[in-house]
Structure 1
């Protein structure tokens, strides 16, 4: 596996394992990190947005893990396709979990510079939070 794919795998693994979202963001996200996607109701940018998003995911799905199906690298960018999986027991996006298992597919493109993330483009399907799962 390439260095960038290793870094990407490490980010997902630490996101799943950490109780210290701030330290994880400080380690992997450059101070000039840019999020290219808008998140309804969230005005934060850059690292602060990353802290808010990871914090929200960890509080809503404390046992969250990332299943990666595919990673593709081109230049300084790595694309990953997979799913966030876990038990929805907390609150996330205004919805309170009832202990149901959720699977939220995602596609991420992350740009790296000197071992840190400088940009993110992505989509995720969070519909599992809003209704019954199969």
Structure 2
């Protein structure tokens, strides 16, 4: 962080906690001498101006910035490619090609190749690729 860094998004001051009450961002269990504390809310909004993800932490729990960055990278990849990120996915690891993408489409979309997981059903829809 630089002391003279410019912030290109709005920051709202709410010293009387009016906005957090209107938005129901109040932690009902935690209070200080001036009233309820705000919960730690984080909303990720996409370019289409729609909320893509919301985290809501109690006021007593800090946010996990590694998780926030992981989610942002997942949202970017899944919006750019027809993929999903599996549980515990980390940036740089393989993602899952969407089941509605045919193998022919996948070969065209991912010329570097992909790996198909053998399933008991013999269906070839669980395909992994690095993007």
Normalized per residue, the structure richer in strand is: 1
TM-score by length of 2: 0.27
Say which structure, 1 or 2, has more relative contact order (CA 8 Å, 6+ apart). Answer: 1
Larger radius of gyration: 2
